[in-house]
Amino acid sequence: MSPTLELLEALLARPSVTPADAGCLDLISERLQALGFACERLDAGPKEAAVSNLWAIRPGRDAQAPVLVLAGHTDVVPTGPLDAWTTPPFTPSYRDGRLYARGAADMKSSLAAFVVACEAFVRAHPEHPGSLALLLTSDEEGPALHGTVHVVQELKRRGQRLDACIVGEPTSVQRLGDTIKNGRRGSLSGRLTVKGIQGHVAYPQLARNPIHQLAAPLAELAAMRWDEGNAHFPPTSFQVSNIQAGTGAGNVIPGSAVLDFNFRFSTASTPEALKARVQAVLEAHGLEYQIDWVLGGEPFLTEPGTLTQAMTAAIRAETGVAAELSTTGGTSDGRFIAKLCPQVVEFGPINASIHQLNEWVTVADLDPLTAIYRRTFENLLL
């Protein structure tokens, strides 16, 4: 069994459903400390839902050389119905060249590869010029309030410099190495409450139907072109996720209607501009309304440079694949790290099964993934 696979099995056996860590960081810290990493727990959050955070760094011999941080999360999403899994989700199982378990792809395989790549790199280059660090949390799949964002704030307070970051999210699509995420769209959510007047459907003149009032502005919002995107991002999208109204009775005009919606927005738009345009439409239609906004994350982009070059070269050397740079998909903790670090990319295994029942990773990809990380360290830190 390869060192990466052995460590991955140990991590997968720990039921670290968010925000639980289930001892994953202790296992990783033990391996890193043996390499000379200074490991520090920066746990945060309320006691009843405490978040486990690890900051570990092995300084290079040259203080002016780059600092590369590896970022990721030990927490996994809930399993769903246990009887719908072919094998227990926290018992690593093998079928047809795949390893099945919750977290196999998202993202314990990357964590195991990070650690084993660090071990190989340090053994080969004990006096490496650049610094190597890890930032790991158990609060990525949850609210993400006390994990990476907390550690980044603490590092910023200390004046810790970060020059490049690899987030181990599963990014590959068809085969290992085909996709690197060099940015992500932002996420802006809104909850719109349109206020009407409840009444009997037979006496509409005595009521005001908020569903009817919402129909025209909603159609206008759905048809709007928010921006044209740019060379790195598709146009911003507006999507409705929920509409709630009514008392359950068929003869009552509701007193309010609630609409949940989300923008996935590019660097061509700002949260402030999107909010203003939505509110302008609502005002133009004369609605009585309340709107509550949640900014889940702002977009970030890493232009092609030293980090993307180092990683694409490593992928080509280990797999022969020409990696594509992409900004598709949802959000990740890269959005927090990008506020402190000028170059952030995401790279990991095939993402076809993430968050699904019977999540899997291809066993044959684990050692090449580890080698890609190690070679990227060499390209950046030597």
Annotated binding site: 73, 106, 141, 169, 355
What does the DSSP 8-state code read for residue 234?
Answer: P
What does the DSSP 8-state code read for residue 82?
Answer: G
User: What are the beta bridge partners of residue 174?
Assistant: none
Burial label for 314, CB within 10 Å (0-12, 13-18, 19+), is buried
Say which of 21, 43, 139, 140 is annotated catalytic: 140
> What is the C-alpha to C-alpha distance for residues 282 and 261, in angstroms, rounded to an integer?
14
Annotation says 75 is catalytic: yes
Q: Which has the closest alpha carbon to 254: 213, 300, 218, 295?
A: 213
Burial label for 382, CB within 10 Å (0-12, 13-18, 19+), is middle
Q: Sheet of 237-245: strands edge to edge?
A: 237-245, 256-265, 186-195, 289-297
Annotated binding site for Zn(2+): 73, 106, 141, 169, 355
Read off φ and ψ for residue 6, nearest 5 degrees.
Answer: -60, -45
Annotation says 272 is catalytic: no
> What is the C-alpha to C-alpha distance for residues 94 and 105, in angstroms, rounded to an integer?
14
Say which of 43, 75, 139, 298 is annotated catalytic: 75
Is the separation of the CB atoms in 265 and 226 below 8 Å?
yes
Read off φ and ψ for residue 110, nearest 5 degrees.
Answer: -65, -40
Catalytic residue set: 75, 140
